[in-house]
Structure 1
Amino acid sequence: MGIEEQELQRILTEQLHLTENHPDMAIFDYQADFEISEYEDIYELNQAVAQLKQLPEQDYEKVMDYCDARDITSPLEISNVCLQADEVPYERFPDWIDENVKDPEEKLGYALFENNSLAPEIKAAGMEGYFDYKAYGRDEAINSYDIGDHGFVNKRISIDVEKYSYEEIQNQLKENGLDESTEYKEENTWKSEENFWSDEATYEQETYMASDNEIIVEEDIEITMDN
């Protein structure tokens, strides 16, 4: 997914014979880093994927950690977070912590300790080895921060996920040259195979006869990511 809107419309009408907002259109299978409801708006979903694909790796991780912490799964809300990625109240774990500390609460404890005003005194007194980083991180996770896969989110600050409508986001993407049809420069685009959606979706069609001899066509849309 994440294709030009006109191409998406062509697939829906010519290949699936579905009109816009067709009541029988549903998503039955997908692979993504966020939950997708069965009857999600396919246009809003396509828009969100297009934005996620063009984010640099660290911004992508920031957006995903924030959305996970706030239980944000709506494609339109995810699009809003993408547009406000610079304002997300998020800090990444330093590389040495991310590589050497496995427990999430302990990670947070180490990260926050580095910025604690008491840290220099504790280090100077040779007490750093006695500091309980896990307990510190656990308390801060309860009171102040949500822990993500790559960093942590401030509980007290939130992004307005209703700031922009679908149309406003489309206009901004086009004005910035970042609409779905744009070929993004390789040096500015994250090419992770694990988190990229493929540009193709798999469609399955089943036809059966109802009791009144009416022919019914069911469309299964299978959304996949590159392996």
Structure 2
Amino acid sequence: MTDTVSSTPVADTTPYEIFLSGNDDFLIPVVFPDYLISVADEQSFELWGVKIKTPAVKAPYLGHAGVILINGETGVTRYYEYGRYKNPKSDIPGNVRKVGVSNVTIKSGLITESSLLKVLKEVSLRSGQEGRISGVVLRGKFFSEADSWLRGKMDLNNSPDKIPYDLDSHNCMTFVIDLADAMGLDPAWKPPVVVPSAYIEQFQLSEIDLDYDYKTNKLTVSE
């Protein structure tokens, strides 16, 4: 095995070497740093007989997080995220959802660049407001365990005992941190207030970095 990092031209037949050859699984925590977070919904009310509508308020700079999980042997790929998604069966804010993405192609234990680019583009389009992606690449034997953990969290969406979403301490980023911690992957220190865009920068200091630009479809992986 090797700990070198290298990239190759985009081609279906060319492996994109992230790091550590072999068939270990991939867990890729991702953050959309430019994502606009909804902090207030659109409101309509009547005042002295006049109908008034206030626009929705969205905050920049906080970001939104999710996680890409890849089976290192088969290329089967999952994407999960946690947030204030509407759930008709629960009034408690905070739900896990699985977003459909393509599977990657594995050649000689490595992900081909073209197939990974396709997944990143799909994730950005469907969950990231077509914005940039910043992430880290973690390896290990955990696909089945991680997928089971994630599905278990999704099963709690309708539970009256689930922990409510909290913008500071129980959010999309803490969801990903808890997964990495449960898999024994030693995530970066979790502060009392977790901001996705700031946390991923801290995480990248100690792990392999992954940065993707939706507009240019360019991927950079570096130590």
The normalised TM-score by structure 2 is 0.24
Larger radius of gyration: 1
More helix by share: 1
Q: Which has the higher strand share?
A: 2
TM-score (normalised: structure 1): 0.24
